[in-house]
A and B are shown apart, each in its own frame.
Chain A
Amino acid sequence: MPAIETRDLQRVFSGDVVAVAGVNLRIERGEIYAFLGPNGAGKTTMVRMLTTLLRPTGGSASVAGHDVVAEAGEVRRAIGVALQEAALDPLMTGRELILLQATLHGLPGAEGRARAERLLARVGLTNAADRRVGTYSGGMRRRLDLASALVHEPHILFLDEPTTGLDPVSRKAIWEEVEKMNREGTTVFLTTQYLEEADNLADRVGIIDDGRIVAEGTPESLKAEIGRPHLEVVLGDGAMERAQEILGRFGKPLPAKDGAALVELEGGASGVAPVVRALDEAGLVVESLELVQPSLDDVFVAKTGYHLEGSGDETAVPEASSN
């Protein structure tokens, strides 16, 4: 029985805003599955439907074998949830929060308290446990949220953008915790806008854009689909258009990124030398040139026509895929 399954899941808001437009998912037990997409793609809406906080307007979904609408109570018993807004009360202490979560899940007093202590220790918050949450840093709040999501030892964990806004050290700490939970057998469904997060953590990735899944698979298989490396060229005197025209002769041009012109190279590394010669003959000053192996961003661009991260100037490139 899959951990999470959806059939043509849909959510339309008033004013005909289609947030999720028919999504089919099948996530097996023990997987880490990441939904990757920009803001507004429908990630949070998906999570809210799967965690019974929002009713689907079409299609169906089941979590842990229970329908999210008809058997919402059973779903809630089986899942742990850590949402984007880190639903914490600034006036409560960390310990009070975990204890409240334990109470909400019906854990009897002594056992709830024992688990709370174990979890606080696990995420390194024992010392801060009696301080009010309002005094916690962003990283501490996320760790507390994560710990409280685990208090009833759920089989399936939902994390909505778990590391958005965190510094790199805190981010790594969260990743390590998620991997540890997964090794212990928990299925993890997470949403993210960070390529690195999806790449490093997830067994499988679903790329979501505009309410639809545009690509799905393991990070490796997705990247292999795209296959080819691309060249990133930063020019000295900003002669972008001329450079793009030249590059276009050697392979498929890609949308510009952070002031660099990009081109996909058919022949791989052997195609670099002719490009350099051509740019040199045209008298263009090259500041840097890098051969980049495919990444999830490339997959994203191939499927949606724009970068997920770091698209500085949106210089339009002819022949770029545009849906």
Chain B
Amino acid sequence: MTLAADLATIRALMRRALNEILRVPGAAIPGVLAPTIFFLGLTAVFGNLTLLPGFTTESYQSFLIPVSLMQGAGFTGAATGVNLARDIEQGWFDRLVASPAPRPVLLAGLVASASFRSLIPAAMLLIVGFSLGAHWPGPGGLAIALLITMGMAIVAAAWGTTIALKFKTQSASPLMQAGMLLLILTTTAYAPLELLTGWLQEVARYNPVTQIVDAARQGFVGSVTWGETWPGLLALAGLAALLLALALRGMRRIAD
């Protein structure tokens, strides 16, 4: 297939994914609201952790907001997986798979929309966060945070797609969400590395997603430097590559 044809396919699949939100708006609301609700809850409950000596900021909102952004990306990506599982169950997916569109193009079409859709819960989160006193990260910090959000949405969509292709049922959706949640929370999500305790400190030390969280967090808690940014972007790229490869493998194996 020519490049033009491939791009047209990706655009068409993205349009279809967007249609879901426009045509059944109620379905999107939980995914959009949930990150903000969790953000409000967690900051109210654990906000005073900033009193601990060694905490890198006095505003827990600023500290937590990048984590909530990534959680939003996680929910968005999981929704992609759930929609795919439904499409498989209802036979729609056969239409895509029986067509000559190359498998990587189909995958790109499925996950690309997630990255744009993740900006919706992100926008809500940022509005609420700033109004509660989260620090303004500056244009550079904000750009990095949003870039990472969109990247995590692709990671989550790839994970959701892999699960959907493997189990072919919507009831696997908890697995899609839990996987991402676990990945994001076993990091410096709740507190800086030195203040984590026990097993979590060890896991967070080696979890590549910690780099991603720290990179997204920079502008909100301090200044943005290239030294803090590149490890996060590298980890994100690596994670995305790994999960996209897994999803592609699943797509090629769907006829087994």
Establish whether residues B8 and A109, one from each chain, have CB atoms under 8 Å apart when the complex forms.
yes
Q: How many A-B residue contacts, CB cutoff 8 Å?
A: 73
Question: In chain A, what residue has the closest Cβ to B8?
Answer: A103
Establish whether residues B19 and A51, one from each chain, have CB atoms under 8 Å apart when the complex forms.
no
CA distance A106 to B94 in the complex (A): 17
Establish whether residues B16 and A92, one from each chain, have CB atoms under 8 Å apart when the complex forms.
yes
Shortest beta-carbon distance from B85 to chain A in Å: 15
CA distance A81 to B95 in the complex (A): 8
Establish whether residues A106 and B256, one from each chain, have CB atoms under 8 Å apart when the complex forms.
no
Chain B residues with CB under 8 A of A104 = 9, 12, 95-96, 99-101
Interface magnitude class on chain A: 20 to 34
| A55 adjacent to chain B (CB < 8 Å) | yes
Question: In chain B, what residue has the closest Cβ to A132?
Answer: B23
CA distance A83 to B98 in the complex (A): 10
The 8 A CB mask of A11-54 against B (1 = contact, 0 = none) is: 00000000000000000000000000000000000000001111
Please report which residues of chain B, range 54-110, place their CB below 8 angstroms from some CB of chain A when the two chains form the complex: 87, 90-102
Question: In chain B, what residue has the closest Cβ to A78?
Answer: B100
| B45 adjacent to chain A (CB < 8 Å) | no
Establish whether residues A87 and B255, one from each chain, have CB atoms under 8 Å apart when the complex forms.
no
Question: In chain B, what residue has the closest Cβ to A97?
Answer: B95
Establish whether residues B1 and A106, one from each chain, have CB atoms under 8 Å apart when the complex forms.
yes
Establish whether residues A103 and B98, one from each chain, have CB atoms under 8 Å apart when the complex forms.
no
| A214 adjacent to chain B (CB < 8 Å) | no
Interface magnitude class on chain B: 20 to 34
Question: In chain A, what residue has the closest Cβ to B101?
Answer: A104
Please report which residues of chain B, range 25-66, place their CB below 8 angstroms from some CB of chain A when the two chains form the complex: none
Shortest beta-carbon distance from A211 to chain B in Å: 19
| A91 adjacent to chain B (CB < 8 Å) | yes
| A100 adjacent to chain B (CB < 8 Å) | yes
| A105 adjacent to chain B (CB < 8 Å) | yes
Establish whether residues A52 and B102, one from each chain, have CB atoms under 8 Å apart when the complex forms.
no
| B20 adjacent to chain A (CB < 8 Å) | yes
| A228 adjacent to chain B (CB < 8 Å) | no
Write the residues of chain B forming the contact surface with A, with a CB cutoff of 8 angstroms.
Answer: 1-2, 4-5, 8-9, 12, 16, 19-20, 23-24, 87, 90-102, 255-256
In order of increasing CB-CB distance, the 6 nearest A-B pairs are: A85-B91, A106-B5, A104-B99, A76-B100, A87-B91, A87-B95
Write the residues of chain A forming the contact surface with B, with a CB cutoff of 8 angstroms.
Answer: 51-55, 73, 76-77, 79, 81, 83, 85-89, 91-92, 99-101, 103-109
13 pairs of residues in contact across A and B, judged by CB atoms under 8 Å: A53-B98, A55-B255, A73-B100, A73-B102, A77-B100, A83-B94, A85-B90, A85-B94, A87-B93, A88-B92, A101-B99, A104-B99, A105-B99
For the complex with contacts A85-B91, A85-B94, 4 further pairs of A-B residues with Cβ separation under 8 Å are: A81-B95, A87-B94, A91-B19, A91-B20
